[in-house]
Every structure is written in C-alpha cells, then in structure tokens.
Amino acid sequence: MEQQLSDKRVELADSETVARYVADLHDLLNESSLVERKSFVRSFVKEVKVTGNEALLTYTIPMLPRGIIEEKLPVLSIVHDGGR
C-alpha cells in the first residue's frame, strides 16, 4: 500500500490549458450574480483573520490533495468595517 501511495504522480497541465481554464473561469464569474461569486469563493476559502492592516487567508486549492495554504496580505482599503 505504501508503494502504491509513493508511486502516485500528479500530472501538471500545460500553460495553454491553464490559460483556457482561467479564461473560462473569468467569463463565468463575470456573468455570475454576487451570490454565486460569494458561494464560489466560500467553496475554497476556509478562514479570513484580519489583524490591523494584515489579513491571514486560509484556503485550499482544489487541484492539490489536502493542501491548505496560508498567506498574509495587507487588507485592501475597500474592506467594509461593518457599521450600520
């Protein structure tokens, strides 16, 4: 069983295929409603923690098996502060 797992290979797509997928996704998201776009983002974003002017984004990339990646980025100035 260990041998079968170690023999597992991931075949990466070529840049043209990736570019087509990105263009398709771009078109899909441009034509989608706000609710549909939010649902799409929520399908892979697991958590967002905002601290001061930094945000910690925890997300999964569907192409990577069980891969969770964390990345710190500054908070954009358009972030709504939730007031009434």
In a domain, 8, yes or no: no
Residues whose CB falls within 8 Å of the CB of residue 61, separated by 6 or more in sequence, listed in order: 44, 67, 69
In a domain, 55, yes or no: yes
- Give the range of the structural domain holding residue 49, as residue numbers without chain letter: 44-76
Residues 37 and 54 in one domain: no
Comparing CA positions, the residue from 45, 67, 41 lying closest to residue 58 is 45
Residues 57 and 36 in one domain: no
Report residue 6 as tokens. 């170690």
Residues 57 and 68 in one domain: yes
Beta bridge partner(s), residue 54: 51, 74
**Number of folded domains that form the chain:** 2
Entry pTM: 0.46
Helix (H, G, I), strand (E, B) or coil at 71: strand
In a domain, 28, yes or no: yes
Share of the chain above pLDDT 90, in %: 6
Mean pLDDT of the chain: 76
Residues 29 and 51 in one domain: no
In a domain, 7, yes or no: no
Least confidently predicted of 13-22, 46-55, 71-80 = 71-80
